[in-house]
Copies of this chain bind each other. A is one copy, B any other.
Amino acid sequence: MSGWVVIAGLGPGDEDLVTPEVRQALSEATDIVGYIPYVRRVPARPGLTRHETDNREELDRARHALQMAEDGRRVVVVSSGDPGVFAMASAVFEAVETGPDRWRALDIRVLPGITAMLAASARIGAPMGHDFCAINLSDNLKPQALIEKRLRLAVEADFAIALYNPRSKARPEGMGRALDLLREVCEPSRVLVFARAVSTPEEQLRVVRLKDAAPEMADMRTVVLIGSSATRIIDRDGTPFVYTPRSVPE
């Protein structure tokens, strides 16, 4: 029996946002590999081994998955959201490139999922409805100066911007720095959406103007959406709609 590695996206949390393709791969797997809370989203069953690993061990986890596939096992590496967006797919291919040549011949597939920014965008309206970018605010794997350079250029390009990993206990300052920078280069009425744990029972959505935004509105389960200069709020009873128009006039 020949093994394989599937890197699968479990979406933002709601099981109704998991694609049938991913569901099928999970049902065929002998092994599930990933960060603890994501592995626990896959129910235990006879014949399935669940390997729970801590955060920040992505490359070891990837090598373990590849090694098991080489040994004939059917391995699903799970990420939340989409595995190609600040998640496990890159780590697996880095392990392939730096590993033994025979790993290049393995059956390796990536199965997309609903990524956090698009789940959040859908929930509030269509804030990413025009050109946009996604920036990982964590400085674990890149210099802080590069994050700030990208944020400045993204505002200059007038992209809508999604900030992933805006804040954690280990990195409490990043979101505050990002807001300071935005206040230098954007108008005070710029629209922000703090979207926490979208599609889970802990979901929280907060729409604020830049002048009223605070770093504490984000935590490690939040994605922050920053509108372009054209992004609009439609007031109504309850949470407003937020959208970015499709057109930019000449």
Interface residues of A (CB under 8 A from B): 11, 14-21, 24, 58, 82-87, 89-94, 96-97, 104-105, 108-115, 118-119, 121-123, 125-136, 141-143, 146, 149-150, 153-154, 156-159, 232, 234-237, 241, 243-248, 250
Interchain Cβ contacts under 8 Å between A and B, 30 examples: A16-B19, A17-B21, A20-B20, A58-B246, A82-B122, A84-B127, A87-B129, A89-B129, A89-B243, A90-B129, A91-B246, A93-B125, A93-B234, A104-B236, A109-B122, A110-B121, A112-B121, A114-B114, A131-B133, A131-B135, A133-B134, A133-B157, A141-B247, A142-B248, A143-B248, A149-B157, A150-B157, A153-B156, A153-B157, A157-B157
Oligomeric state, in number of copies?
A: 2
Nearest-CB distance from A5 to chain B (Å)?
12
Q: Is the CB of B94 within 8 A of A246?
A: yes
Q: Is the CB of B21 within 8 A of A234?
A: no
Q: Is the CB of A122 within 8 A of B141?
A: no
Please report the C-alpha to C-alpha distance between residue A119 and residue B127 in the assembled complex, in whole angstroms.
Answer: 21
- Which of B92, B134, B158, B243 interacts with A93 by CB under 8 Å? B243
Q: Is the CB of B246 within 8 A of A19?
A: no
Please report the C-alpha to C-alpha distance between residue A130 and residue B86 in the assembled complex, in whole angstroms.
Answer: 6
Nearest-CB distance from A229 to chain B (Å)?
12
Nearest-CB distance from A133 to chain B (Å)?
4
What residues on B are CB-neighbors of A111 within 8 Å?
Answer: 122
What residues on B are CB-neighbors of A150 within 8 Å?
Answer: 131, 157-159
Q: Is the CB of B108 within 8 A of A241?
A: yes
- Which of B110, B122, B123, B158 interacts with A126 by CB under 8 Å? B110
Q: Is the CB of A19 within 8 A of B89?
A: no
Q: Is the CB of A133 within 8 A of B105?
A: no
Nearest-CB distance from A158 to chain B (Å)?
8
Return the chain B residue nearest A144 by Cβ: B250
Nearest-CB distance from A250 to chain B (Å)?
5
What residues on B are CB-neighbors of A248 within 8 Å?
Answer: 141-143, 146
Q: Is the CB of A125 within 8 A of B105?
A: no
Q: Is the CB of B112 within 8 A of A17?
A: yes
Please report the C-alpha to C-alpha distance between residue A244 and residue B146 in the assembled complex, in whole angstroms.
Answer: 16
What residues on B are CB-neighbors of A136 within 8 Å?
Answer: 130-131
- Which of B97, B109, B154 interacts with A133 by CB under 8 Å? B154
Please report the C-alpha to C-alpha distance between residue A24 and residue B153 in the assembled complex, in whole angstroms.
Answer: 41
What residues on B are CB-neighbors of A104 within 8 Å?
Answer: 234-236, 241
